[in-house]
Structure 1
């Protein structure tokens, strides 16, 4: 079968651009179909978080709308696509869908693209709010929304992005209620999630856990804004995929450990797979996908050695496996350290570490909560990769370069 490209990437998202960038660097002929009228919407959300966290740390009130308008100008997010085109990627600013016969191709408004391989990376979108007057989290990307927000705000959802928004709104003086189902992060360590919940409550966020639909109760409350982020859905329905490619009802893409869909030359990466919407995971998936294509390998995505951060205001980092995924002889160690911040004229802060070990004391996973967690979590990643056994806390912290900062 004649092909036009080695790889056709579907989606102008962080994952899509990372995939295209790595593929072109490996000498592959690459096309990227934008597949959205709002490219890099996931990167706009990241930019919004960074702006809000910066403003939340300011001692004096600031003009939030002006800052957002300056930081999230929509035209700025076309620049990565332009830079990608300069490297040789054929960037196609259109939408399209698969055509399966007589041979597989991807058809846009003006093109019929035949690829040796395809990478599906269109990202996700928030499910539609049940009421017209409810806001989607993406509505906050519009700077004009911010001056209209009332004093009382309710957020429905437990996504990492929502937690950051709730924290920042509380720091701006809003009365914030966060409604979630049972737990904030059901797959993470419950003790550390409890610490995170306490942090949010101290910051001024009221947490409510509801087993029933909160919609009717919210409708009965006046003079408040409701931000509806109950769940996400994969942007796959417009691609004309066979039914076995997706997992209803959210329509996330179904892939194996090598990121292959039921058709082996079609891959997936990014939050459309249904995992956390985090850049660290998307980059790991993009790297694995391109290595497998360019080197004809069958590597699984290294999720167990990819550190990720779930919450930035109180750094909450994890790497590896934990809890129910441990082997029968697995165990854990946990310790809390105050950090010595006297030199910076700040109050001491706590750093809490939980390590999951096998019977040979080799590290299998780690969760770190608090300041300096980023440095430690990558040290834990290195220990998992090298299979070095845990010895003592002194040795662990010294090798991470943090021993001198601890208060014993």
Structure 2
């Protein structure tokens, strides 16, 4: 394990927050500089969309008229309907990450990706954590194998998970807060509200009411109900996934400048979560694939990291790679959990974009025993299944070699 340069009065949490703040400041300043070098005006002021015919944006010092607007206003915290919540101190997940010190115990209400990552961080810091969610499973939009892995991983690390549970009431006590559940009462020093956020539409000041609690609806070109107003990021309800928001922004800007030429394809967008080990995904889940295709048309295989020599050597055997494909060769999805899950998924995403058939993966050269070799091993399992006794390939090969031996 690498030693961190901690001062005598600094905790690991304080060092991590300080380091993250420094990196964010460096990257933000470089982004502004690059934009200015490219000839883009950067106005570091709050803006409001005040007119849609023509499109006008007002800031503290300027009024701009434009042909198109891209809304990337993000999201706002959404508060669940819990009796007594307004009478107790609470924090959002984003605000908690700015704390200078950790509390003695934490209760998390909600199961957003950020909530799960924060839950794991606290467990590894030996902080008692209870996570309460009305959902019957975690990451219910992900593949069932990934959802089950996340649930098992958090429980193994000490998190108290209360799935399919509603908070009946919350009250303040001397030691913090008390949460009343249908079958128990939980106390914690700090409560974190981490439910799915609401779109931030406060910057839209138009006659037509754009306010609401739902995410903005867009077409495949990322146009809103106004054909010259585009949107991207968490204002669309993507839970703030940077990989998805970046691709949305690129396509929306391109369409706004050069007419609508590019359509968003979420099935080809890879993204991941910074869990330990990391989780990444691209394409359809197993349930989505079975809903779209007949079950006998699908090829689904999962390869465990436990069988990989490098994973054994580095003691990183927790994880798996799951490939989903059609029998016609089309790659449909990849779901990975492991130290290099993002690399597996990124590779599959590129192959999906190039229409590469799944059976080509088993023939690609890879470094033996590397973690990336897991993709080839997974695809080879399908090749192995195609050559089982009773399959036409096996029968044809036996007849061929019998004929060769008889010549």
Q: Is the TM value for this pair above 0.5?
A: yes
2: distance between equivalents of 1:373 and 1:402? 16
Q: 2:346 aligns with which of 378, 386, 391?
A: 378
1: distance between equivalents of 2:316 and 2:273? 23
Is the partner of 1:324 in helix, strand or coil? helix
**Is 1:280 the counterpart of 2:243 in the alignment?**
yes
Note the C-alpha offset of 1:84. 2.8
- Worse-superposed segment, 180-189 or 263-272: 180-189
Note the C-alpha offset of 1:207. 1.2
**Is 1:365 the counterpart of 2:319 in the alignment?**
no
2: distance between equivalents of 1:287 and 1:55? 39
Note the C-alpha offset of 1:171. 0.6
Matched with 1:331 is 298
**RMSD value, Cα:** 3.2
Q: 2:149 aligns with which of 183, 191, 195?
A: 195
Larger of the two Rg values belongs to structure:
2
2: distance between equivalents of 1:67 and 1:126? 24
1: distance between equivalents of 2:237 and 2:128? 31
5+ residue gaps, structure 1: 1-53
Instruction: State how 1:263-342 maps to structure 2 within 5 Å.
Output: 263-322=226-285, 323-324=287-288, 326-329=291-294, 330-337=297-304, 338=306, 340-341=308-309
Q: 1:230 aligns with which of 184, 195, 198?
A: 195
1: distance between equivalents of 2:153 and 2:207? 44
Note the C-alpha offset of 1:300. 1.1
2: distance between equivalents of 1:55 and 1:196? 28
Matched with 1:208 is 162
Q: 2:36 aligns with which of 70, 85, 92?
A: 85
Which string of whole-angstrom CA distances, capped at 9 and with x for unpartnered residues, describes residues 110-131 of structure 1? 2211111110001112224734
2: distance between equivalents of 1:368 and 1:167? 18
Note the C-alpha offset of 1:348. 5.1
Which string of whole-angstrom CA distances, capped at 9 and with x for unpartnered residues, describes residues 184-232 of structure 1? 2122111221012111111222211134235436166445211111220
CA contact under 8 A between 1:376 and 1:400: conserved in structure 2?
A: no
- Worse-superposed segment, 183-192 or 273-282: 183-192
Matched with 2:18 is 69
Matched with 1:20 is none
Q: 1:178 aligns with which of 118, 122, 131?
A: 131
Is the partner of 1:119 in helix, strand or coil? strand
Is the partner of 1:252 in helix, strand or coil? coil
Q: 1:218 aligns with which of 159, 179, 194?
A: 179
Q: 1:135 aligns with which of 63, 84, 91?
A: 91
Under a length normalisation based on structure 2, what TM-score does the superposition of the two structures give?
0.75
2: distance between equivalents of 1:168 and 1:306? 27
Note closer, same or farther for the CA distance 1:343–1:77 as it changes in structure 2 (3 Å cut).
Answer: closer
**How many residues are aligned here?**
345
1: distance between equivalents of 2:78 and 2:350? 38
CA contact under 8 A between 2:215 and 2:235: conserved in structure 1?
A: yes
**Is 1:352 the counterpart of 2:320 in the alignment?**
yes
Note closer, same or farther for the CA distance 1:398–1:348 as it changes in structure 2 (3 Å cut).
Answer: farther
2: distance between equivalents of 1:62 and 1:339? 37
Note the C-alpha offset of 1:172. 0.7
Note closer, same or farther for the CA distance 1:397–1:167 as it changes in structure 2 (3 Å cut).
Answer: farther
Note the C-alpha offset of 1:168. 0.9
Relative contact order (C-alpha < 8 Å, sep 6+): which is higher? 1
2: distance between equivalents of 1:128 and 1:90? 36
Matched with 2:219 is 256
**Is 1:401 the counterpart of 2:366 in the alignment?**
yes
Note closer, same or farther for the CA distance 1:209–1:55 as it changes in structure 2 (3 Å cut).
Answer: farther
Note closer, same or farther for the CA distance 1:100–1:117 as it changes in structure 2 (3 Å cut).
Answer: same
Note closer, same or farther for the CA distance 1:350–1:263 as it changes in structure 2 (3 Å cut).
Answer: same
Note closer, same or farther for the CA distance 1:66–1:366 as it changes in structure 2 (3 Å cut).
Answer: closer
- Worse-superposed segment, 89-98 or 157-166: 89-98
Note the C-alpha offset of 1:400. 7.3
5+ residue gaps, structure 2: 171-177, 378-407
